[in-house]
Amino acid sequence: MTTKHEAPRLDLPWDQVAPGGVVTAVGNSETYVTGTWRTMRPVRDEVQCTQCLTCWIMCPDAAITVVDGKVGPYDYVHCKGCGVCAERCPVNIRQPHSFTGQMGKVIHMVPESDFENVNE
Ligand code: SF4
Ligand code: SF4
């Protein structure tokens, strides 16, 4: 059974905060909204992506979806912005990145402050 996530309370004194590192139910990692930890967001250039799926394999949070065998949308609710996917993407782009306009890999890490909504 999936427990509905309750947003963390940031207004409580330290002795009333729920203790961390306690697993209260199996399969409960999905209920933790870890996307709010993110300071940098991975953005993929969909056109220049070769669909090798290395990023999907390497993501430690299973935050990269696959739809019909191809990389789908990021799960920004759970992506922590660790940058592993961008680091391990093996493809160097040949044109400027569709979002940043810079060269480099298919995935670029972009400051979260450049976006309005942390989950989209
Ligand atoms: S930044 Fe980290 S958590 Fe987010 S999709 Fe990439 S590998 Fe996964
Ligand atoms: S690792 Fe890079 S090229 Fe491979 S699927 Fe992911 S974004 Fe695309």
**Atom number of ligand 1 nearest to Cα 40:** 1
d(CA 57, CA 70) in angstroms, rounded, equals 12
Q: Is the CB of 84 under 6 A from ligand 1?
A: yes
CA distances 108 to 18, 77, 81, 89, 104, Å, are 35, 18, 11, 10, 8
**Atom number of ligand 2 nearest to Cα 52:** 4
Give pLDDT tens digits for 56-115: 999 999 999 999 999 999 999 999 999 999 999 999 999 999 999 999 999 999 999 998
Domain around 64: 33-114
Residue 45 lies in a domain: yes
15 C-alpha to center of ligand 1: Å?
Answer: 32
Output the domain CATH number for residue 75.
3.30.70.20
Our count of domains for the chain comes to 1
Residue 99 lies in a domain: yes
* pLDDT score of 1 more than 50: no
Model pTM above 0.75 = yes
Percentage of residues in the chain with pLDDT exceeding 70? 88
In this prediction, residue 27 carries a pLDDT of: 78
